Structure 1
Amino acid sequence: MTVPDHCSASVPTGTLEITGEDISLVLPAGCEDLMVEVYLGGRRIWTTRTSRGWWGADGRWHLPWPAAMRPRLVGTGDVRVEVGPRGDRVLVEGVAVTLGGSDEPLELNHPADGSPQVINKWGRVAKSFEDKDDGFFDALLSSTREIADFLRDECGIEAFLHCGSLLGPVRDGDLIPNDDDSDLAYLSVCTNPTDIALESYRIERALSAAGYDFVRHSTGHIQVMFSGRSMIDRYYVDIFTCFEVSGWFYATAHAHEPMDSMRVHPLGTMEVRGHELPVPADPSTIFVAMYGPGWATPDPSYQYETPPQVARRYYWWQNHFDAHREDWEDFWRCNSSLASDPRPSDFALWAAERLTDGAGVYEMGCGDGLTACHLAADRPVLASDYARPALMLARERAERADVDVRFFQSNQYSTRQTSHALHEAASLGGPVDVVVENLFDGMHFLGWDGTMRVMRHLLGLGGAALVGVGGGCHGHDLAADEPRGDRFWNPQEFADRLDRFGMRIDSVEIVDPQGPSPRHRYLIRKARP
């Protein structure tokens, strides 16, 4: 092996250890910031850097597996770790491992269709371009052109290739192999954060009217989905908002550059795999803003590093509607078999006994519809979730059970969508009972207020709220791959927040209080007009 001048060559071999928690080995001294590539069964699944790990007291370097990867580390196979630039590795170590006591193949493939997956730059398990054929790229780029044309013709928005979809063709002459989507952006004509957000919602309404399936990540990011097999998106096209505020250019929740250094308009075109696509006037100005001055040198381990003050501006100007959503979508894609169990959970049975006579039911965070379908036996039920695979499973469950439940997508982090949920709930007529299980204890704090507002409004019609926290789906203990979210349950904080919204706890029951996963069940009513 070749060792760079700044690294020590006295490195023992055979030190690689793999567990379900981390990768560890002995590294050369002085190699604190080198590229690391992890291979599973001979296929690259992860590219990162040594600086993202840590050194233990025993001198070993440790690299924790991303949280999304840990539940997938079950089986027997070969793991190889390569440290250093490609073609000039400092260290290559491989080992055969058995994890989770299983002799099944240790692989990273999509559970639903077997397609290869990788760990992306966000630490998520996702698809990449590395195994795709020409037909896939032709469809992806055709859809990209379609969305760019739609934005121009229907919204008056001049969109252009952005992020990796622009960087690869300009720098390398092709798409980046470890990318996984197509990116478009536009430069807003507005310079006030509120107007910028309203402009994005105008685009959303146009997409909705045209029948596109999309997910809103923030007020500056819409993702247009193109479906593949059941519950799996074949690919998606991002639409990012670039904008100027007070002389500064902002883009993709990261970039922050003086506006007078940017050259976005007039747009040009560039051919990518036979498709003519719009590009900025000078793409290099975008690359410097996004990736820094070293953008021309490929770095598969690159991750965004956003200054805190810039992150705060994006967070409060454009909000964030995506907390844990992708985790839940992955969970339901990988655990669709849960939806085949027709038996009601203990929580569903508990809630059914306490429903208000003659009341309809609205369940927020319904998952695969187990509780909603059970409660629909003798009353109208409305149910929502923000995870699209969960809603697909819920509709299938209702069809099998031959019950009438109206499911729709709603995001508790979005005031617009919770307001729409109230409009939907009005169709139930009369009093409405609100059912919420495993939502508050797994929700980012930004979602609490929107959920509380819905409860307060509907409880004013004479119903009650039945809330369950603790444990996992269907009343089981929390599964290894079930998203934890922000799970730290503070009963006093919950009671205080209810009081602030004019609600009170009528009764509370604690199931298995001394066990590993105690469950709280609350009956809540409106405290005052």
Structure 2
Amino acid sequence: MTDLAVDDRGLLLTVGADVPVNVLFDDQRVFSFWLERDTQPEGERRRYPWPPALHSFLDGAVDVALADPVDGAVWLSTAARLGSGVGPVRVQDGHGNPLALDKSLRLTRLFGDRDPEQMVPLLDTIEVVLSALEAAGVEPFVAYGTLLGAVRDQDFIGHDSDADLGYVSRFEHPADVVRESFALQRRLREMGFPVHRYSGLGLKVVAREADGSPRGLDVFGGFVHDDVLYLMGEVGHPFRREWLYPRSTVVLAGRELPAPAEPDHLLEAMYGPTWRTPDPAYKFTTPRSTQRRLSGWFRGMRVGIDERWARRRAGLDSAGRITPSGFVRWVREQEPEAATFVDVGCGEGTDTNWLSRGGGRVVGLDFFGPDLRKGGGRAERKGLSTEFAWANLNELRSVLAVGAWLAREPGPRSVLAHHVVDAVDRTGLTNLLRLARTVTRDSGRCYLQFQTVATPYSRDAGLDPVPAERVAEAVRARGGRVEQCLDLTEEQAGVPGAVAGTDPTLCRMVVSWSR
């Protein structure tokens, strides 16, 4: 690494070796990356673009440096002016606390930027939750980055931002392991802890700190099957049970906490043989076979659900839209005799509840629980019979189960999906069409509206425009027929803020299936 340039697009540098590096803004570590793995060639140099979470801060003057993650030695530095170049760049929260990006490139307060006394409530919470898990019938231990910091430094990892706990079930069959996890969840709730479930073997236990603020700790369950340890998160590694139990202890920030019998073996399974070397830009590279097993056994119907997905779907309906869309009005006009409407990706149910006013059976489907509850609450207050149900287009089991249920509803049955095609990946599109075929085959039609061209609306809503022909190809691949394909402008579709006289940016597609 021989030079460094900084501009509004990111960092530009010449790379000699692929190693991790810390990026400092005026001596404050803000994020880390690998010099080759995380960059793209640009001429004779390589480019690292600014992470999106930083964009709102990148306006002003700042000294940018690249430093060694191990000893902190600065390798290169340069003065930069970003945006207007006026004033200093400060990556801070509203109270002036330094912020940085964690390993998932999310902006947060990291452990290394907190004073020791600020970490005491977290340590207290860890001990409380460990005791609760023990009382609930398992033998927990600190895991992942919490275990790594304790073994390597007897302290929290400076570039980390959360704490992790784990346990390994005494059972050896996935179904028994899941049953035990649900029993554990019920026991913890009886003890007064709010518990949120990630998967069949992943929990978040919420405890209250001294000031009353909530603190969530991830609890990853695991089991040993055919001499392989599977631990939720990322682990599927040959293992011996005596490396786990009876437990040993480690010291974390002055507290003695339970750990696996031989922590080194678990850390190698989690982080590889180089786990002793600090890597603030570490990325898990779980084998595809392990991912498939963990997903098939335990992740169940939460496959593909993440914050981006939630923001994307919620952003379309939660921004205050209280009137039905032009799309749903159009669908109602096309299907005056439909006995059942199924609104896929219904969000808060504005369109769904409007359909329900016209009579007949109306079901809204979405994966985002808060929106479903809002839609159901509105329906109840207005005396509507709308039904809202959870479904995940990224999980085949969910699609098949919901499809089998709705295929028995009164016909003709119509499926509508407003900005779902452009809010899912190829798997989601395939499953949307699979669901629509199951529900409407020889009974009704499927109606789709999606962006084909990027616009300010699609960018604000987090949509990815999809060419109409690609959707038509997917329909034909599922045995369907495109009856109608209409190009519209956003103004014609009634999109808020649409500009009159623009070129078509939307597609309305009508699809049917017959035996």
- Note the C-alpha offset of 1:46: 1.0
- Note the C-alpha offset of 1:239: 2.7
Q: Which residue of 2 aligns with 1:509?
A: 486
Please identify, of 511-520 and 258-267, the stretch whose mean Cα deviation from structure 2 is larger: 511-520
8 Å contact from structure 1 (residues 432, 464) kept in 2? yes
Q: Which residue of 2 aligns with 1:435?
A: 416
Match among 81, 88, 103 for residue 96 of structure 1: 81
Match among 247, 254, 260 for residue 280 of structure 1: 260
Q: Give the counterpart letter for 1:291 in structure 2.
A: Y
CA deviation vs aligned residue, 1:156-213 (integer Å, no higher than 9, x gap): 4333221012222333233223223222222233445565556556656777898845
Distance 1:471 1:505, change over 3 A: closer
Match among 460, 470, 476 for residue 496 of structure 1: 476
TM-score by length of 1: 0.73
Q: Give the counterpart letter for 1:160 in structure 2.
A: F
Residue aligned with 1:90, SS: strand
Whether 1:259 aligns to 2:239 is yes
8 Å contact from structure 1 (residues 441, 487) kept in 2? no
Whether 1:19 aligns to 2:25 is no
Whether 1:37 aligns to 2:22 is yes
Please identify, of 179-188 and 323-332, the stretch whose mean Cα deviation from structure 2 is larger: 323-332
8 Å contact from structure 2 (residues 22, 67) kept in 1? yes
Q: Which residue of 2 aligns with 1:82?
A: 66
Q: Which residue of 1 aligns with 2:509?
A: 522
Q: Which runs of 5+ in 2 are unaligned?
A: 491-500
Please identify, of 172-181 and 450-459, the stretch whose mean Cα deviation from structure 2 is larger: 450-459
Q: Distance in 1 between matches of 2:201 and 2:467?
A: 28
- Note the C-alpha offset of 1:16: 1.7
Distance 1:336 1:418, change over 3 A: closer
Please identify, of 271-280 and 357-366, the stretch whose mean Cα deviation from structure 2 is larger: 271-280
Distance 1:469 1:292, change over 3 A: same
Q: Distance in 2 between matches of 1:227 and 1:395?
A: 30
- Note the C-alpha offset of 1:26: 4.4
TM-score by length of 2: 0.75
Match among 344, 353, 363 for residue 343 of structure 2: 363
- Note the C-alpha offset of 1:280: 1.7
Q: Distance in 2 between matches of 1:390 and 1:114?
A: 34
Q: Distance in 1 between matches of 2:37 and 2:439?
A: 47
Please identify, of 439-448 and 84-93, the stretch whose mean Cα deviation from structure 2 is larger: 439-448
8 Å contact from structure 1 (residues 71, 480) kept in 2? no
Q: Distance in 1 between matches of 2:440 and 2:208?
A: 38
Q: Distance in 1 between matches of 2:92 and 2:371?
A: 20
Distance 1:354 1:182, change over 3 A: farther
8 Å contact from structure 1 (residues 441, 489) kept in 2? no
Equivalent residue runs for 1:118-517 within 5 Å:
118-125=100-107, 128-130=110-112, 137=119, 140-141=122-123, 144-145=126-127, 147-149=129-131, 151-154=133-136, 156-192=137-173, 196=177, 200=181, 212=194, 214-216=196-198, 219-224=200-205, 235-260=215-240, 263-268=243-248, 272=252, 277-307=257-287, 310-311=290-291, 313-314=293-294, 321-323=302-304, 325-330=306-311, 339-357=319-337, 359-379=339-359, 381-387=362-368, 409-415=390-396, 417-418=398-399, 433-448=414-429, 450-452=431-433, 454-459=435-440, 462=443, 464-470=445-451, 477-479=457-459, 482=462, 484=464, 490-499=470-479, 504-512=481-489
Q: Distance in 2 between matches of 1:491 and 1:128?
A: 43
Q: Which residue of 1 aligns with 2:498?
A: none
Q: Which residue of 2 aligns with 1:4?
A: none
Q: Distance in 1 between matches of 2:85 and 2:339?
A: 49
Residue aligned with 2:273, SS: coil
- Note the C-alpha offset of 1:414: 3.5
Distance 1:434 1:143, change over 3 A: farther
Residue aligned with 1:78, SS: strand
Q: Which runs of 5+ in 1 are unaligned?
A: 1-6
8 Å contact from structure 2 (residues 452, 468) kept in 1? no
Q: Distance in 1 between matches of 2:187 and 2:404?
A: 21
Residue aligned with 1:413, SS: coil
8 Å contact from structure 1 (residues 53, 63) kept in 2? yes
Q: Distance in 2 between matches of 1:35 and 1:405?
A: 53
CA deviation vs aligned residue, 1:453-479 (integer Å, no higher than 9, x gap): 543454369554322232599x96420
Q: Give the counterpart letter for 2:151 in structure 1.
A: V
Distance 1:318 1:202, change over 3 A: same
Residue aligned with 2:329, SS: helix
8 Å contact from structure 2 (residues 434, 478) kept in 1? no
Distance 1:177 1:88, change over 3 A: closer
8 Å contact from structure 2 (residues 453, 506) kept in 1? no
Q: Distance in 1 between matches of 2:161 and 2:155?
A: 13
Residue aligned with 2:141, SS: strand
Give the % identical residues.
Answer: 24
Q: Distance in 2 between matches of 1:410 and 1:200?
A: 23
- Note the C-alpha offset of 1:95: 0.8
8 Å contact from structure 1 (residues 262, 286) kept in 2? no
CA deviation vs aligned residue, 1:201-259 (integer Å, no higher than 9, x gap): 6656777898845252x55544456799xxxx965332323333332233345434432
Residue aligned with 1:238, SS: strand
Distance 1:520 1:57, change over 3 A: closer
Residue aligned with 2:319, SS: helix
Match among 44, 48, 62 for residue 59 of structure 1: 44
Residue aligned with 1:304, SS: coil
Distance 1:84 1:42, change over 3 A: closer
- Note the C-alpha offset of 1:97: 0.2
Aligned residues: 498
Q: Distance in 2 between matches of 1:485 and 1:243?
A: 42
Q: Distance in 1 between matches of 2:503 and 2:188?
A: 46
